[in-house]
Structure 1
Amino acid sequence: MKNEPLFIAFSTQKGGVGKSTFTVLVASYLHYLKGLNVAVMDCDYPQCSVYEMRKREVRQLETNLHYQSKAIALFDSLGKQTYPIVCAKPEEGIIKAREFLANEPTDYNVVFFDLPGTINNDGVIATFMAMNYVFVPMAPSRMSMESTLSFIIPANELIAEHSDLNLKAIHLFWNRVDGRIKKEWLEHYEEVIRQFGLPLLKTAIPQSVRYDKEQSIEGSDAVFLSTIFPADKTLLKGSNLDLLVDDILEVLHLTPKL
């Protein structure tokens, strides 16, 4: 009998804060570096940016011998291929995920859901509440804070009131923290978060262009953001992605296989 995978989402009401980026980065990290089996439900319909990213990367592999050989070596060492990405309407995300899992021989540990940036209808809200855990990237600015808290506080109150919900916890984490931001500002924001009883992960992600670094079309550049490769070790240093993944694994009570 298969194990029941965890349903996880990176979700936020503030656009451009990194939900799709972290869906890809953490899924790839867990699948390729931690030995876990993951799948992605791309419910950011109709653009399905994660699904389209995979298609784009596969096309690039067809003409780039460097990435071809790198992929072959990676999959041979792991004994498995890329993780699956399924495009679905947000209100159908759970049904499509269940159908996918029922027809798969693989025993999955985690299914990531990339949800729309705006949760503005009952179907999307139902999918959001069907997650086991939600992680919310948040920029240290007043606009991002207000948008995030107006979205998260009611959901967190529902969790506190209804112990029978699938959604067990919502965890915030800092993203795009500029080194010039004053420490007292972060401390002020964190005090506000504590007052609302919202959990905040220990790791903060710095502002860095590496988080947008995909594989090149013709070159052999190191890759950070990819559905086919894990973040390159040379780019991991100082990114705090490895620390974020450790925080998330601790929340999920998951043990890496590698």
Structure 2
Amino acid sequence: MNVKHKTVFIAFSSQKGGVGKSTFTTLAASTMHYRLGYNVAVFDADFPQHSLLKMKDRDLKMVMENEALKKQAYNQFMTINKKAYEIIQHRADSVLEAAQEYVNASPVPIDAVFFDLPGTVNTPGILKALAGMHHIFTPITADRVVMESTLVFTQLMKDIIMKEGETSIQTINLFWNQVDGRESTPLYDVYNTLIHQLGISLMQNQVKNSTRFRKESEVNSKVVFRSTLMPPDERLMKTCQLDLFMDEFLKIIQL
């Protein structure tokens, strides 16, 4: 492997469950690997759920049972000539070393490694793992509990780890997820002002609320959204503005 090749370490991380970190890990990894030509890998260190490994097992079963998706998967493989990206289970306390070994040993240059990490700072090794990321993305929703835990967590990363510790972190980016157009705009304005006052980076593009974020492929479905084997359908991406989010995401990680 070319040692000069740039590999970025990325985590969608949050101290609050249910805001979409595993979902966005899958959406971003699948878009980059299957549609945009990048080579990615995923390390699932979210013990004990390991939800991404379980998702891949479900995706494989679904493709085998769904003729439309089976045909799509076959055509995709014939077109891009790439296997599915690997999802490797590992402990948080040594996941950085394992990821670097994987990158060094890979027969193809790896552009990005995504890490699905535990959602609590009490997990052994979690702060070390986060400090080893190049970019951290944190989904937020207009909920007081979510905002309080997220801002405390982000301040910890920004003011302590980035300033005082040895770290690889280049950016920490909050972004609005599950945005409902019917919700009160002033509520977002208040939170946006607070985030700006704290000096925390907030992405411009918001991801709109969609039931697709909570659904995987169904038996009779002809399109996919959240899948480890195929990229999200482009029309569905536009519906929730995930396409605009990915454009901004790629500019931030500079790939």
Answer whether TM exceeds 0.5 for this pair.
yes
1:69 aligned residue:
71
Does the 8 Å CA contact 2:23/2:213 hold for their aligned counterparts?
A: yes
Q: Could you tell me which of 183, 186, 189 is aligned with 1:187?
A: 189
Does the 8 Å CA contact 1:159/1:169 hold for their aligned counterparts?
A: no
1:142 aligned residue:
144
CA shift in 2, pair 1:240/1:59, >3 Å: same
TM-score, normalized by length of structure 2? 0.94
1:229 aligned residue:
230
2:200 is the counterpart of 1:205 = no
CA shift in 2, pair 1:200/1:151, >3 Å: same
In the TM superposition, 1:1-258 aligns within 5 A as: 1-2=2-3, 3-158=5-160, 161-162=163-164, 165-217=167-219, 219-254=220-255
CA shift in 2, pair 1:58/1:35, >3 Å: same
Does the 8 Å CA contact 2:13/2:117 hold for their aligned counterparts?
A: yes
**C-alpha offsets along residues 26-85 of structure 1, whole Å, 9 cap, x if unaligned?**
111111121111110111122211111111111222333222211010111112111111
Distance 1:4 1:97 in 2: 14
Distance 2:160 2:34 in 1: 35
Distance 1:191 1:126 in 2: 30
- Total equivalences in the alignment: 253
Distance 2:221 2:157 in 1: 44
Does the 8 Å CA contact 1:21/1:211 hold for their aligned counterparts?
A: yes
Does the 8 Å CA contact 1:132/1:167 hold for their aligned counterparts?
A: yes
Q: Residue type matched to 1:117 in 2?
A: G
Q: In structure 1, the residue corresponding to 2:236 is in which secondary structure?
A: helix
Q: In structure 1, the residue corresponding to 2:9 is in which secondary structure?
A: strand
115-124 vs 161-170, which moves further: 161-170
Q: Residue type matched to 1:204 in 2?
A: Q
TM-score, normalized by length of structure 1? 0.93
Q: In structure 1, the residue corresponding to 2:11 is in which secondary structure?
A: strand
Where structure 2 has 5 or more consecutive residues not aligned to the other structure, the ranges are none
Distance 1:93 1:15 in 2: 21
Q: Residue type matched to 1:240 in 2?
A: Q
Q: CA RMSD in A?
A: 1.5
Percent identity (aligned): 38
CA shift in 2, pair 1:156/1:221, >3 Å: same
CA shift in 2, pair 1:6/1:67, >3 Å: same
**C-alpha offsets along residues 157-206 of structure 1, whole Å, 9 cap, x if unaligned?**
13552485201121000011122221111111011001110000001111
CA shift in 2, pair 1:160/1:7, >3 Å: closer
Q: In structure 1, the residue corresponding to 2:152 is in which secondary structure?
A: helix
